[in-house]
Amino acid sequence: MKPGVYCAILSAVWLIVMPATGVAQSSDVTFQVPVNVTRLSSDITKVEVFCEITSSALPALAGQGSAGKARSQVDLTPSAGQVVQTVAVVVPIPSLDTSGGKTSATYQCTFTGFSQSRQQWARFDAAATVAAFRLSPTPADLTGSFTW
């Protein structure tokens, strides 16, 4: 029996309070991500949903990497070799500068697993060389765009 992964709709909900100057107050972007990952190897002890937003309106922040990116993740624990639930991934947006027309953003959410025996995180893939990470079909990244 082949492992299976099924992902449904990704929806983003955000609220940005925008003063006249084009610099927004802090806020969050919340992605509601339905996860339906079944027939996981017993070696997979965690499943991670990782979401990243890319926008020129995002400034560089300490500990968040390069300018223009904001990210967050949620780790889930499989039960009986599966994770079937909708998870809220909250990406904090401490500040935003939409001046000069910087209003577009893109997002990407990915799925990875943690192998207990290898002590390693990796993406699930139908062609993975490590059997624990081999899922068919390969879970598709969830991507899209929005305007602040």
pLDDT tens digits, 122-135: 999 999 999 999 99
Provide the 3-class DSSP secondary structure of residue 101: helix
Residue 79 has, within 13 A of its CA and on its CB side, a CA count of 3
Encode pLDDT of 13-44 as tens digits: 333 333 334 555 568 999 999 998 999 999 99
Class of domain 4-147: mainly beta
- Other CB atoms within 10 Å distance of the CB of residue 39: 13
Long-range contacts of 118-125 (CB under 8 A, 24+ apart): 118/43, 121/48, 124/5, 124/37
The reply to whether the predicted model has a pTM over 0.85 is no
Q: Residue 133 is inside which H or E element, if any? A: none
Contact 96, 19 (CB under 8 A): no
The structural domains of the chain, with segments of one domain joined by +, span 4-147
